[in-house]
Amino acid sequence: MLDIDEIQGNIVPGFLKPHQGVLALTFGNLRGAKTWMRDLVPSVTTLAQCMDSRVKVREYRGLGVNRLSTLANPPPDVDDAWLNVAFSRAGLGKLLAGGAHAGDVAAFADQGFQAGLAARSALLGDPTDPSAEGNPARWLFGGPGREADVLLICGADRAEKGTELLDGVRDRALECGASVLYEETGSKIDAIGKEHFGFQDGISQPGVRGRLSSDPGSYVTNRIIDPSCVPDAWLYGLPGQDLVWPGEFVFGYPGSAGDPLTPGAVKLPGPSWSRNGSYLVFRRLRQDVAAFWTFAERFANGLSRRPGFSGVTADWVASRLMGRWPSGAPVSRLPSHDDPTLGADRLENNDFGFAADAVALPLTSGAGRGSWPTAQADPVGLTCPLASHIRKVNPREVSNDMGGRHASFDRRILRRALPFGPPLDSPHGDDPVTGNRGLLFGCYQTSIADQFEFLSSAWANSTKRPRSPGGFDMVIGQNGRPGARRARSAIIFGRHASPATVVTMTDFVVATGGGYFFTPSISALQQVIAR
100 and 217 co-located in one domain:
yes
SS3 (DSSP) at 25: strand
98 and 221 co-located in one domain:
yes
pLDDT tier, 270 (very low <50, low <70, confident <90, very high otherwise): very high
Does the pLDDT value for residue 354 go beyond 90?
Answer: yes
pLDDT digits (tens, 9 = 90+) for 489-507: 999 999 999 999 999 999 9
219 and 362 co-located in one domain:
no
pLDDT digits (tens, 9 = 90+) for 390-410: 999 999 988 888 887 667 889
Residue 177, phi-psi category: left (phi > 0), alpha (psi -120 to 50), beta (remainder): left
186 and 326 co-located in one domain:
no
- Residue 458 DSSP symbol: I
Our CA angle for 368, 396, 120, nearest 5°, is 130
pLDDT digits (tens, 9 = 90+) for 227-257: 999 999 999 999 999 999 999 999 999 999 9
Instruction: Answer whether residue 477 is part of any domain.
Output: yes
pLDDT tier, 371 (very low <50, low <70, confident <90, very high otherwise): confident
Q: For position 69, what pLDDT does the model report?
A: 64
Q: Residue 394: which of 412, 376, 417 has the closest Cα? A: 412
Q: For position 118, what pLDDT does the model report?
A: 98
Instruction: Answer whether residue 13 is part of any domain.
Output: no
How many angstroms separate the CA atoms of 488 and 361, rounded? 39
> Which DSSP string do the residues of 462-520 spell out, in sequence order?
-SSSSSSS-B--TTT----S-GGGG-EEEEEE-GGG-EEEEEES--SEEEEEEEEEEE-
> Which DSSP string do the residues of 391-454 spell out, in sequence order?
HHH--TTS-BTTBSTTTTGGG--EEEEEEES---S-TTS--TTTT--EEEEEEEES-IIIIIHI
Given a contact cutoff of 8 angstroms between Cβ atoms, the answer to whether 70 and 64 are in contact is: no
260 and 293 co-located in one domain:
no
How many angstroms separate the CA atoms of 291 and 309, rounded? 22
Instruction: Answer whether residue 32 is part of any domain.
Output: yes
179 and 265 co-located in one domain:
yes
How many angstroms separate the CA atoms of 517 and 160, rounded? 27
pLDDT tier, 453 (very low <50, low <70, confident <90, very high otherwise): very high
224 and 170 co-located in one domain:
yes
pLDDT digits (tens, 9 = 90+) for 154-178: 999 999 999 999 999 999 999 999 9
SS3 (DSSP) at 373: coil
Domain residues for the domain of 478 are: 288-407+462-509
298 and 265 co-located in one domain:
no
Q: For position 486, what pLDDT does the model report?
A: 86
Name the pTM for this structure.
0.96
Instruction: Answer whether residue 319 is part of any domain.
Output: yes
Does the pLDDT value for residue 183 go beyond 90?
Answer: yes
Q: For position 70, what pLDDT does the model report?
A: 65
272 and 345 co-located in one domain:
no
Q: For position 63, what pLDDT does the model report?
A: 76
Instruction: Answer whether residue 452 is part of any domain.
Output: no
Question: Considering the chain, what percentage of its residues have pLDDT values greater than 90?
Answer: 87
Is 422 exposed, middle or buried (CB count within 10 Å of its CB: 0-12, 13-18, 19+)? middle
Does the pLDDT value for residue 307 go beyond 70?
Answer: yes
Instruction: Answer whether residue 112 is part of any domain.
Output: yes
269 and 310 co-located in one domain:
no
211 and 311 co-located in one domain:
no
Number of domains comprising the chain: 2
pLDDT digits (tens, 9 = 90+) for 79-113: 999 999 999 999 999 999 989 999 999 999 999 99
Q: Looking at 14-28, 126-140, 353-367, 369-383, which range is the least confident one?
A: 353-367
The average pLDDT across 414-424 equals 97
pLDDT tier, 258 (very low <50, low <70, confident <90, very high otherwise): confident
Instruction: Answer whether residue 386 is part of any domain.
Output: yes
The average pLDDT across 249-266 equals 95
In angstroms and rounded to an integer, the radius of gyration of the C-alpha atoms of the chain is 22
Instruction: Answer whether residue 376 is part of any domain.
Output: yes
277 and 307 co-located in one domain:
no
Torsion of the alpha carbons at 491, 313, 441 and 113, rounded to the nearest 10? 10
